Amino acid sequence: MAKKVFKPSDWLEQPKQKIAEPVIQLPIVVSDNEQIEQVIQEIEAKRLDIATAYADWRDIGFAFADAFGESGRDYFHRISCFYDDYTPTDCNEQYDKCLKANGTGITLATFFFHAKQAGIKLAPPSQSQDAPPEVLPTFGQQVYDNLPDFLKSVIGIATSDEEKDILILGSIVSLSACLHKLYGIYDGKRVFPNLYLFITAQASAGKGRLIHCKQLVKPVHKQLREQAELLKKQYEAEMLEYNQSKGKDSNAQKPGKPPEKMLFIPANNSTTGVYQLLSDNNCRGLMFETEGDTLAQAFKSDYGNYSEGFRKAFHHETISYYRRTDREYADIEEPCLSTVLSGTPKQIATLIPNAENGLFSRFIFYFMNVQVVWKNVFAFDTDNGLDDYFDKLGNDFFSLYQMIANGAELQFALTAEQKQQFNSLFEQLQSTHIALQGLDYMATVRRLGLIAFRIAMVLSALRIMEHGEFPSKLICEDRDFNTVMAMIKVLVRHSGKVFAELPEDAPKPKRKNQKERFYESLPQSFNRQNYLKVCNELRIPEKTAEGYITDFCKRGLLHRDKQNDYLKN
């Protein structure tokens, strides 16, 4: 019986069960009156003045005018009235000016930013228990249609847009480990294409398809292992010769152990083991683990906590370590490590308990939506399933790998117009997401800029497979640049989803200011003589204390019972 070979064209012609297109739902819709009302009600409940300076107050007015026009005037009054010198006349005059100043570029993100800075917790409008879970966007058909031909072949077997997305990302990150002669200049520094990826989903959600991306670079790993075997045999022959001559020849030198060549570096390893393998492989490697816990458990152990080196490798910063066996101090200069991980949301929390140490912002995150459709598990009716198909693609990429590995260094660059669009997009993303998610998310947006640049490098390198020419300088095509920008707009949403679900750290105790200490030191009922005694104990000038008392009365914190007699509310 003839061996059945899988053909993607046959698979694509089979009737497929139609899956409904996901509905894109923003986590926070900043133009939604319900969200604005929710935030302002909390401001009113806490009686907060969220504008600490005139410019902040003015900009909030611009934001309301831009979003709501005349109907935003009431919002402006409601957030302004907690200022000590507030008057309706001044507030109306300011809002009139804001309405006339069209095109300031200030959006509601500014209002949300000041609200968050004042301690207001921003959250999506509450959903009922029966409401469907949030559905995150996929890259979409325009991205799929404009991919390099190699990646179009990779996603040719996907049965849903989500499968396409994880195959695209898994392939790009895996290939990024094998393009070591390709570099670009980003923020004045020389950077290589290496990327970190974490695909997250509930169990059995379909992330297992990611494993095929490892086959794309398997020929590279195989070649390196063959080189290691040859070096080992050569070492054994040299050791035999050394042992035979060391008693007769005083100049005989013991041969050094050969490097352990490989592409796939196991994550379940000691710190020294990981660093030694990176060093043996010219500071390059790929970690590919389908269980995120493998890396997390390594980081938790004393012997395997190479988290710091892992973070440094993302930016090619020198990693220094001590080899006990050889009693030797070593440096890994310009480490180039790529990483593909998958796991459940809980496994992310195990690996990255919070966003503070910087590991979170170095990853591309993709959060898979759960599909409740049963798929045909017998669709790939071939002797080896998809293995033959992806092995062939791996051999195709190996030809490009050899071309780049054997050639001179190749610099990648964006065009002047692309650089302008790049800066414009990330300036907008930074402004919006700092307002929505706070300053802790800023590192994620900024590193997404570097990630975008690196993805563009990989896509541009794959174009060489289509025209077969090795250029003196690799310039990004507009179609690849636009593809990357579209991908980033989706990935920033996925990262935001994962970021929002990280465990919150226990809040640090807030240090009370002078005014708060004065109020808390006052007895429940007191007179002028009592509060002057308190202010003297706290070394507060009498005039300042009198101002505090007046302000406390205005804000309803104190009740003036009679002349110079007060009660705390």
User: Mean per-residue pLDDT for 49-62?
Assistant: 84
Q: Is the pLDDT of residue 1 over 50?
A: no
Q: Is the pLDDT of residue 444 over 60?
A: yes
Give 182's pLDDT tier (boundaries 50, 70, 90).
very high
Q: Residue 295 has which token pair?
A: 């890396």
Least confident residue range of 69-78, 332-341, 415-424, 489-498? 69-78
Give 219's pLDDT tier (boundaries 50, 70, 90).
very high
pLDDT at position 126 is 43
The secondary structure element, H or E, covering residue 289 is: strand 284-289
Q: What is the residue-averaged pLDDT of the chain?
A: 83
Least confident residue range of 143-157, 353-367, 468-482? 353-367
Task: Return the SS3 of 285.
Answer: strand
Q: Is the pLDDT of residue 288 over 90?
A: yes
pLDDT at position 402 is 93
- pLDDT (tens digit, 9 = 90+) per residue, 95-144? 888 888 765 667 787 888 888 888 887 655 444 444 455 678 999 999 99
Instruction: Return d(Cα 167, Cα 342) in angstroms, integer.
Output: 12
Instruction: Return d(Cα 490, Cα 168) in angstroms, integer.
Output: 13
253 or 173, which is more confident? 173
Q: Residue 241 has which token pair?
A: 């010769």
Q: Residue 496 has which token pair?
A: 């935001």
Instruction: Return d(Cα 472, Cα 399) in angstroms, integer.
Output: 19
pLDDT at position 232 is 94
Dihedral sign of CA atoms 539, 544, 549, 555 in order: negative
DSSP states along 107-161? -HHHHHHHHHHTTPPP-PPP--TTSPPP------HHHHHTS-HHHHHHGGG-SSH
Residues facing 182 on adjacent strands: 410
Fold held by 514-568: Arc Repressor Mutant, subunit A (1.10.10)
pLDDT at position 426 is 93
Extents of the domains making up the chain: 33-117, 140-194+395-500, 221-246+254-367, 514-568
Instruction: Return d(Cα 127, Cα 132) in angstroms, integer.
Output: 9
Q: Where are the beta strands (DSSP E) in 310-407?
A: 319-323, 328-332, 336-343, 363-367
Classify residue 389 by burial, with Cβ atoms within 10 Å: 0-12, 13-18, 19+: buried
Q: Residue 319 has which token pair?
A: 């990693």
Give 23's pLDDT tier (boundaries 50, 70, 90).
very low
501 or 360, which is more confident? 360
- Full-model pTM: 0.68
Q: Is the pLDDT of residue 374 over 80?
A: no
Task: Return the SS3 of 478.
Answer: helix
User: Nearest to residue 162, comparing CAs of 146, 142, 138, 141?
Assistant: 138
User: Mean per-residue pLDDT for 435-457?
Assistant: 89
Distance of alpha carbon 246 from the chain centroid: 57
The secondary structure element, H or E, covering residue 79 is: helix 73-80
Q: Residue 222 has which token pair?
A: 């195989």
Inter-residue contact 332 to 278 (CB < 8 Å): yes
Task: Return the SS3 of 240.
Answer: helix
Q: How many residues does the chain have?
A: 569
Q: Residue 21 has which token pair?
A: 């297109």
Residues facing 200 on adjacent strands: 343, 367
User: Mean per-residue pLDDT for 384-398?
Assistant: 89
Please identify which residue in the block is written with the tokens 């507060």: 540
- pLDDT (tens digit, 9 = 90+) per residue, 236-269? 999 998 888 877 777 888 888 899 999 999 988 8
- pLDDT (tens digit, 9 = 90+) per residue, 394-408? 999 999 999 999 989
16 or 513, which is more confident? 513
pLDDT at position 486 is 96
Task: Return the SS3 of 568.
Answer: strand
Instruction: Return d(Cα 285, Cα 265) in angstroms, integer.
Output: 6
Please identify which residue in the block is written with the tokens 């929390």: 349
Least confident residue range of 24-28, 369-373, 386-390, 487-491? 24-28
Q: What are phi and psi of 410, to 5 degrees?
A: -120, 120
Distance of alpha carbon 417 from the chain centroid: 25
User: Nearest to residue 459, comparing CAs of 442, 473, 479, 444?
Assistant: 479
**Alpha helices (H) along 246-289:** 271-280
pLDDT at position 30 is 40
Instruction: Return d(Cα 479, Cα 486) in angstroms, integer.
Output: 11
User: Sheet containing 336-343: which strands, arranged edge to edge?
Assistant: 284-289, 336-343, 196-200, 363-367
Contacts within 8 Å (CB) and 24+ apart, 302-305: 303/270, 303/271, 304/268, 304/269, 304/270, 304/271, 304/274, 305/271
Give 542's pLDDT tier (boundaries 50, 70, 90).
confident
Least confident residue range of 94-108, 476-490, 519-533? 94-108
Q: Is the pLDDT of residue 522 over 60?
A: yes
User: Mean per-residue pLDDT for 324-347?
Assistant: 85
Contacts of 235 (CB under 8 A, 6+ apart): 255, 257, 258
pLDDT at position 512 is 61
Instruction: Return d(Cα 128, Cα 530) in angstroms, integer.
Output: 52
User: Nearest to residue 336, comparing CAs of 314, 321, 318, 319?
Assistant: 314
Q: b/e map of 445-457 (b: 16 or more CB within 10 Å)?
A: bebbbbbbbbbbb
Measured from the Cβ of residue 117, the count of other Cβ atoms closer than 10 Å reads: 14
Contacts of 298 (CB under 8 A, 6+ apart): 267, 268, 269, 304, 305, 306
Give 379's pLDDT tier (boundaries 50, 70, 90).
low
Task: Return the SS3 of 387.
Answer: helix
